[in-house]
Amino acid sequence: MAQLYSSSDLILSDKYAFSNFAPPPRFGETNFAAYIPQDPSQGIASDRVSTFVSEALSSANKKQQRTGFFGRKKTAPQGQGLYLDGGFGVGKTHLLASAYNAFDNPAKAYMSFQELVYTIGALGKEAAQTELGQYKLICIDEFELDDPGNTLIVKTFLAHAFSLGNYVITTSNTPPAAQGQGRFNANDFKREIQSIAERFEMLHIDGPDYRKRQSLSTLVNDETLSRLANTDTRNRRFTLSHSELKTVLEQMHPIRYSNILNQIDVLYLNNLEAVPDQNSALRFVHFIDKLYDMKIGFCASGIISLEDIFDASYRNNAYAKKHYRCLSRLSELIEEAQE
Ligand X SMILES: Nc1ncnc2c1ncn2[C@@H]1O[C@H](COP(=O)(O)OP(=O)(O)OP(=O)(O)O)[C@@H](O)[C@H]1O
Nearer residue to ligand X within complex by CB, 25 or 77? 25
Window contacting ligand X (CB under 6 A); options: 13-21, 27-35, 179-187, 253-261: 27-35
10 Å CB burial of residue 148 (0-12, 13-18, 19+) is: middle
Stretch that binds ligand X, among 84-92, 118-126, 249-257, 259-267 (CB under 6 A): 84-92
- Decide whether 202 or 274 has the Cβ nearer to Mg ion: 202
Query: Taking Cα atoms as reference points, which of 227, 220, 228, 294 lies closest to residue 257?
Result: 294
Q: Which of 63, 80, 92, 193 binds ligand X (CB under 6 A)?
A: 92
Residue nearest Mg ion (C-beta atom) = 93
Choose the one of Mg ion, ligand X, none that binds residue 211, judging by a C-beta under 5 to 8 angstroms depending on kind: ligand X
**Cα radius of gyration (the chain):** 21
* Alpha carbons 311 and 178: distance in angstroms, whole number: 24
Pairing of strands 108-112, 137-141: parallel
Out of 83, 88, 238, 287, which residue is the one contacting ligand X (CB under 6 A)?
88
Rounded (10°) CA dihedral 26, 321, 195, 46: 40
Name the minimum Å distance from CB 295 to Mg ion.
14
Cα–Cα–Cα angle for 324, 327, 328, nearest 5°?
A: 90
User: How far apart, in Å, are the Cα atoms of 59 and each of 6, 49, 202, 227?
Assistant: 51, 15, 20, 54
Shortest reach from residue 279's CB to ligand X, in Å: 22
Binding to Mg ion, residues 77-96 (CB under 5 A): 92-93
- Which position among 101, 150, 151, 173 is part of the footprint of ligand X (CB under 6 A)? 173
Verify binding: residue 152, ligand X, rule CB under 6 A.
no
The option from Mg ion, ligand X, none interacting with 88 (CB < 5 to 8 A, set by class) reads ligand X
Give the whole-angstrom CA distance, residue 80 versus residue 283.
Answer: 33
Q: What x-and-dash track marks residues 179-218 binding ligand X by CB under 6 A?
A: -------------------------------xx-------
Least distance from Mg ion to the Cβ atom of residue 86, Å: 9
Neighbours of 243 (CB within 10 A): 12
Interface segment toward ligand X; rule CB under 6 A; list 65-73, 85-93, 156-164, 189-197: 85-93
What's the CA angle centered on 31, arms 20 and 168, to 5 degrees?
A: 55
Q: Which does 213 bind (CB under 5 to 8 A by kind): ligand X, Mg ion, none?
A: none
Q: Which CB atom, from 42 or from 129, has the smaller least distance to ligand X?
A: 42
Q: By the 8 A CB rule, do 136 and 142 touch? A: no
Instruction: Give the CA distances from residue 104 to residues 21, 58, 169, 282, in Å, rounded to whole numbers and listed in that order.
Output: 15, 10, 16, 36
> What is the binding site for ligand X (CB under 6 A)?
30, 34-38, 42, 86, 88-94, 171, 173, 210-211, 325, 328
